[in-house]
Structure 1
């Protein structure tokens, strides 16, 4: 049995209520792609998908955690996320005095990607030698390292460094937990680094994670400058441009919409690492960036997901 909590989670609950529905792997992945279906719930539930039978794409489970007993409309909204469970009955189960963050992370194994080792705070095992370890809790923001898109970005960045890529000024758009910005700064420690997110909670989480992992914050070289920003439309982002590395682990739709804006802050010869897109969406995203003067330099497929590295033509 393997567990994968979705990367957007809610806050700490003193006591929880849980709903469980059967689902398929495809449905589990679709939930991760479009969390907006639950935007009307406040606070949003914690969603956790579990592979109940190894390598059986039809035998997955969706658990939804709430800070109060869900009503009928909420139960219907969760059931709608997994169409194969349309005929399933669900009863809210109380989980008294449970720390759902610990519960959701208890089955998570650390992630190894290149020279990086990402683990949760609850991990009590040994950290391998010669790696840069990051403790990233599955909490309030996207990007714990346990999804293929984040793992793929880490792998791609590590490969760039091994091939001798030079980066002096980098930005992580939609940073989530800060993990990718931290990893990039570890690879290029003398670079200027910027990390932004449209969600102020994500920036708060990034500050906490930076402190926990010994990452210096600020606007000088070797530090990560933070900003709550909607894409590239931000004074700090514009002032620090152009960037020779842009990382954007978002979703395919926003990546296409932002192609012109990202081109506008990219240095000639600069590189992009784009993720959050399914393999079926990769060509459409690459096409949008070719129109802005980029060429596809590398593609990495992990599961149903694609990670693209593009380079701005000089």
Structure 2
């Protein structure tokens, strides 16, 4: 798999309170190929870090940070430092062991050798470019939710905002159904397709570039029996009407990318569109909502 990044990378980071996490995460995602975050239990503040090619995406980063500050009232100071690619990859590999998720899935990086854990459905990702690698609470919640709704045997499946393609691939592997994965980012679409080929799922999963529900690529195959939307709270609320309109009777929607504090208002937005809560799952500070028509 080809690397996206140049020889020299840089890490950019901010420290923000919980209610500003969503906006600042979106700001970093607009410029960075990978974004991570963790909670400092001593201070109650969130540390967000993004890795990008040095000197690239500066306009997008500046705009995103300005919008985040305006939206939250939090003017977070941006820190940055050089990150040699080889050193970053080594640390990434060290922090990406095999992930066992739920009862069925194992997620492994291509850097790992030796046999995978037996009795698990294996998903392989390149840790050098992976985002949505199975270690984030929102991804893990979606995979656990998929296990619980698999008995419904959905036929038409959409992964909206597919990222690395991990959820689309998991659904295809578990359910043996074709899956459509879409993302607004062309790089995500390319990486997802490469991941599907790596896992022998190129014929089961199609990845397309699309700007959410505004794209005919997404609307034409509807209605869907199962929709994944592991995105962010605000866009999920904005898309609630479209999701409800394109979810088949008896269909299931798995919504994630939500801090626990955001789940209530995302749920309220979808209840107003006639959807009902089936169950919730929690992974650390992250909540996954499973809704039904």
Whether TM-score is above 0.5 comes out as: yes
**1:230 — aligned with what?**
211
Q: Does 1:165 align with 2:146?
A: no
8 A contact 2:186–2:209 mirrored in 1: yes
SS of structure 2 residue aligned to 1:98:
helix
Residues 1:128 and 1:286: Cα distance change in structure 2 (over 3 Å): same
Please point out which of 162, 168, 180 is paired with 1:194.
180
* Aligned equivalents of 2:42, 2:113: Cα separation in 1: 29
Residues 1:20 and 1:304: Cα distance change in structure 2 (over 3 Å): closer
SS of structure 2 residue aligned to 1:128:
coil
Q: TM-score with structure 2 length normalisation?
A: 0.80
* Aligned equivalents of 1:288, 1:49: Cα separation in 2: 26
Q: Does 1:11 align with 2:4?
A: yes
Residues 1:33 and 1:156: Cα distance change in structure 2 (over 3 Å): farther
Please point out which of 265, 273, 279 is paired with 1:298.
279
8 A contact 2:10–2:80 mirrored in 1: no
Pairing of 1:28-43 with structure 2 (within 5 A): 34-38=24-28
Please point out which of 111, 123, 143 is paired with 2:112.
123
**2:162 — aligned with what?**
175
8 A contact 1:20–1:61 mirrored in 2: yes
8 A contact 1:13–1:99 mirrored in 2: no
Q: Tell me the CA shift for residue 195 of structure 1.
A: 0.9
Q: Tell me the CA shift for residue 234 of structure 1.
A: 2.2
Residues 1:269 and 1:213: Cα distance change in structure 2 (over 3 Å): same
Q: Tell me the CA shift for residue 168 of structure 1.
A: 1.1
Q: TM-score with structure 1 length normalisation?
A: 0.75
Report the RMSD for the aligned CA atoms in angstroms: 3.6
User: Could you list the runs of 5+ residues in structure 2 that have no partner in the other structure?
Assistant: none
* Aligned equivalents of 2:194, 2:21: Cα separation in 1: 27
8 A contact 2:277–2:289 mirrored in 1: yes
Q: Does 1:150 align with 2:131?
A: no
Q: Tell me the CA shift for residue 174 of structure 1.
A: 0.5
Aligned residues: 281
Q: Tell me the CA shift for residue 270 of structure 1.
A: 0.6
Residues 1:165 and 1:48: Cα distance change in structure 2 (over 3 Å): closer
Q: Does 1:257 align with 2:260?
A: no
Residues 1:102 and 1:207: Cα distance change in structure 2 (over 3 Å): farther
8 A contact 2:156–2:225 mirrored in 1: yes
Q: Name the structure with the higher helix share.
A: 2
User: Could you list the runs of 5+ residues in structure 1 that have no partner in the other structure?
Assistant: 1-9, 218-222
